[in-house]
Structure 1
Amino acid sequence: MSRRHVTFSCEDDTLVGTLDDAEGTAGLLLVSGGNEIRSGAFAGQAHLAARLAAAGFPVFRYDRRGIGDSSGANREFRDSGADLAAAIAAFRTEKPDLTRVVGFGNCDAASALMLNSGSGCDALVLANPWTIEEDDGAPPPEVIRSRYAQKLRDPKEVLRLVTGGVSLRKLASGLKRATAATAAPSGLAQEMKAGLEAFAGPVRILIADRDRTAQAFLADWDRHDPRLSTCDCASHAFVEPDAREWLFQRLVTALST
Structure 2
Amino acid sequence: MRHQLSFACDGAVLAASLDEAAGSTGLLIVSGGNEIRSGAHRGMAMLAGRIAGAGHPVFRFDRRGIGDSEGANGGFESSGPDIAAAIAAFRGAAAHVSRIVAFGNCDAASALLLHQPLALDGLIIANPWTYDGDAAEAAEPALPPASAIRARYLARLKDPKSLLRLIKGEVDFRKLVRGISALKAPPAPSAPDSLAARIHGAIAVLGPPATIMLATGDRTAQAFMENCPSALSRLPVDRLASASHSFAGEDADWLFQRILAALET
The two structures have a TM-score, normalised by structure 1, of 0.89
Query: d(CA) in 2 for partners of 1:143 and 1:153?
Result: 15
Matched, 1:231 2:240: yes
Query: d(CA) in 2 for partners of 1:86 and 1:192?
Result: 22
Query: d(CA) in 1 for partners of 2:145 and 2:226?
Result: 7
Determine which of 158, 179, 183 is the counterpart of 1:178.
183
SS in 1 for 2:212: strand
Matched, 1:30 2:29: yes
Contact 2:27 2:101 in 1 (8 A): yes
Report the alpha carbon displacement of residue 171 of structure 1 after superposing the two structures with TM.
7.1
Q: Larger deviation: 230-239 or 16-25? A: 230-239
What does residue 195 of structure 1 align with? Answer: 202
Distance 1:39 1:149, change over 3 A: same
Matched, 1:3 2:13: no
Query: d(CA) in 2 for partners of 1:3 and 1:142?
Result: 43
Determine which of 211, 215, 226 is the counterpart of 1:219.
226
Q: Larger deviation: 214-223 or 32-41? A: 214-223
Letter in structure 2 aligned against 1:7: S
What does residue 157 of structure 2 align with? Answer: 152
- Deviations along 1:135-193, whole A, 9 cap, x unmatched? 4332221221111111111122344567798799x979965863554121352122123
What does residue 264 of structure 2 align with? Answer: 256
Letter in structure 2 aligned against 1:236: H
Structure 1 residues without counterparts, runs of 5 or longer: none
Letter in structure 2 aligned against 1:157: S
Count of aligned residue pairs for this structure pair: 254
Query: d(CA) in 2 for partners of 1:173 and 1:47?
Result: 48
Distance 1:139 1:38, change over 3 A: same
Report the alpha carbon displacement of residue 206 of structure 1 after superposing the two structures with TM.
0.6
Report the alpha carbon displacement of residue 66 of structure 1 after superposing the two structures with TM.
0.9
The CA RMSD over aligned residues, in Å, is 2.4
SS in 1 for 2:118: helix
Query: d(CA) in 1 for partners of 2:245 and 2:177?
Result: 28
SS in 1 for 2:233: coil
Report the alpha carbon displacement of residue 16 of structure 1 after superposing the two structures with TM.
0.2
Matched, 1:244 2:244: no
Letter in structure 1 aligned against 2:21: A
Identity of aligned residues (%): 48
Query: d(CA) in 1 for partners of 2:6 and 2:122?
Result: 24
What does residue 66 of structure 1 align with? Answer: 65
Matched, 1:55 2:63: no
Contact 1:234 1:240 in 2 (8 A): no
Query: d(CA) in 1 for partners of 2:123 and 2:55?
Result: 19
Q: Larger deviation: 244-253 or 73-82? A: 244-253
- Deviations along 1:211-242, whole A, 9 cap, x unmatched? 1100000001224344112112452111141x
Distance 1:185 1:86, change over 3 A: same
Letter in structure 1 aligned against 2:221: A
The two structures have a TM-score, normalised by structure 2, of 0.87
Contact 2:26 2:97 in 1 (8 A): yes
Query: d(CA) in 2 for partners of 1:70 and 1:164?
Result: 61
What does residue 123 of structure 2 align with? Answer: 124
